[in-house]
Amino acid sequence: MRRLVGIVLAGAVLAPGVAAAQVQPHRAEYALRLGIAANAPRIGTAVHDLSLDCSGWHLKRDIKTEIALTASWKMTLASKLDGQEPKSGNAFRFSTLQVQNGSEREFKGRVQRQAGELRAEIVQPGAAPNLFVLPPPTLMPVAAIDHLIERLRANAAAFPALMFDAEVMGDAFLIDVTEQQRSQLRAGRPADKPATAPTGKSWPVFMTFTRGRQQDTRPLFSVGALVFDNGVLDRLTIDTGLVTVTADLQALEMRPLPNCPRS
């Protein structure tokens, strides 16, 4: 169940190079509910905060949930991610703190593309660093959403992508993306209507997530979502096989692009 927190918005960060960025800096707040029913109980919140300055992208996520599986058994889960990604999309540094019923798990890491290889180092307190090589096409978190939008704009009905994940596995996901019909998209809940809805073109998509290095064929989980051309996501439905969690946009703040000198 600890992985559930990271899974909640894993689909929201599919984000190759960002030289001509399609993703826009923004702060999005989501309401989390357990199940897809209209009266599904609210179990928490998630904040996705993506900013950009002249040094690159800064990604922060804060997810808090409380799940009551029975009248006497509750689980509190929380996850905080703080990451930095250069505009080139060739590296990612991050720290992640996850708390389950008061028990903390913290790890830090970095991914760097150099000399034709993509190397990762994950460090947990009291443990030796975990060093490994990722598949060369693996995209960093912000670069992956840009890739998703690029392929959807090109009318690609289905395509794969490899993305480094800093919350669920600390490894690469293989994501299979399929554009859906709008009639297949889960309806938004009136109670979770955002104060300011995103503008621009959007696509309903369905994504399955499997392990990227082990070449597993069985998905770990799936995500349905509405993807906007500025990188904002809404109507997320995350199915782990055991539980289904939905995330609906509550508030959105779009931010201006920085005015950086030409290099």
190-207 pLDDT, tens digit per residue, is: 777 777 778 889 999 999
Report the pLDDT value the prediction gives residue 216, as an integer from 0 to 100. 67
Report the pLDDT value the prediction gives residue 8, as an integer from 0 to 100. 53
pTM: 0.88
Report the pLDDT value the prediction gives residue 52, as an integer from 0 to 100. 95
Residues in the chain, pLDDT under 70: 1-21, 215-216, 263
Which residues, 6 or more positions from 202, have their beta carbon under 8 angstroms from its beta carbon? 226, 227, 228, 229
Token pair for residue 252?
């959105």
Distance (Å, whole) CA 262 – CA 259? 9
Report the pLDDT value the prediction gives residue 198, as an integer from 0 to 100. 84
Give the tens place of pLDDT for each residue, 117-155. Answer: 999 999 998 889 999 999 999 999 999 999 999 999 999
Distance (Å, whole) CA 151 – CA 157? 9
Which residues, 6 or more positions from 88, have their beta carbon under 8 angstroms from its beta carbon? 17, 18, 19
Give the tens place of pLDDT for each residue, 50-68. Answer: 999 999 999 999 999 998 7
Report the pLDDT value the prediction gives residue 2, as an integer from 0 to 100. 46
Distance (Å, whole) CA 77 – CA 101? 7
Residue 39 and residue 23 in contact, taking contact as beta carbons nearer than 8 Å: no
Distance (Å, whole) CA 225 – CA 238? 9
Report the pLDDT value the prediction gives residue 263, as an integer from 0 to 100. 57
Report the pLDDT value the prediction gives residue 243, as an integer from 0 to 100. 87
State the CB neighbour count (10 A cutoff) for residue 111.
24
Report the pLDDT value the prediction gives residue 19, as an integer from 0 to 100. 36
